[in-house]
Structure 1
Amino acid sequence: MNILLAEDDTRLGKLMDHLLKNEFHVVDWVQNGKDAYVYARLSDYDVIILDWMLPGESGLSVCKRLREKGNSSGILFVTAKDANQDIITGLDAGADDYIVKPFEFNELLARIRAISRRKDKPIQKIIKIGKLSLNVNTHEAYLENAIIDLTKKEYQLLEILMRNQNQILTREQLVEKLWGYESEVSENALDALVKLVRKKVDIHAEKSFIQTVRGIGYKVRNPYV
């Protein structure tokens, strides 16, 4: 799933970002309310995880504004505010669920799965470009209906790029999405990962599925047209 995580506690945010990515989720992590609102307006997230007490603008305000603008992403509050009235206020603001800190990570995952099953917000299961397709539920990739053997990072790179077809993603964006906020992974690691994926998906294609945009980053295209 494509998840926006808004958490200003650096230690907790880094941990949640890492654990969610280990579950094959694509995660954008922000640390204030202003960025949370901007990111949510610019991208189509399956689930938005909001800390209530974000700096700049509260998670409650972000939730209200997003719903007023018609945003239909699943919204989950993660907060230390555990009073019954706070829970009611959060749900009335448009949140789909509410989890109180501290929490078990397995419970967080279960609540994310529950939100994803909402009938009015079906999660995209298959992403297809040309002869290449991804099943985001099983985390499998297929080329002309034959399964491709991918590592976790190779699959995550493909999902990120395919969710943003024909859009250029910078090297910095890809490194952050793949390895996390403030990662010390070099851009050479990204180039090596792209090279490995190309070997697996460019079979029989006249052009590379992943296009290099010199000096900026990468984007995906249909190599068969």
Structure 2
Amino acid sequence: MDATAPDLTPISVMKLRLSGFCGGLVVLVPSTEPDGGVSMLNAGADHVIGFDTHPEQLRARLAALQRRIESTWQPPHPSPPSGISPHHLQATPWNVSDIALTARELGVLAVLTRNRDRVVTRHQLLREVWGFPPEAKTNVLTMCVSSIRRKLRSSEAPCIVRTIRGTGYILHS
């Protein structure tokens, strides 16, 4: 992807990742990029390469990324784990069938509900809901939890998903 394209922003990279895109994402940036592409990496890009990178080095970096993805990547679950649906979340204090949740959001809530009042690590949620390997570096979970909280607030449901800094999340009773 070319970072000089007008529609390529960190937000568009996040949206691509949140949509379930699981391929390697390489962004080409001008060498004059103020943050050196850090914002793209933080948004979900796997690698940032400068326009002035030598073609051989570019080919080698792309081949290395492809090898890493092929050896560790498992495709994300097409739906929430174990066929989770709103009726699996009846133990929650809100009626999720009245809230427009995505399959991933339902998956996160299902894992948190199953582990109510216990901290669920980021790694566990990324593995169970997205199928990501433990070493995955992504912010899709943070974005998903943020979306869950926003939807719960807008439906006037109590938001009881708490962040445990540096560890994961907990669903309080």
TM-score by length of 2: 0.47
Q: Highest relative contact order (Cα 8 Å, sep 6+), 1 or 2?
A: 2
TM-score by length of 1: 0.37
1 or 2, which has the higher helix percentage?
Answer: 2
1 or 2, which has the higher strand percentage?
Answer: 1
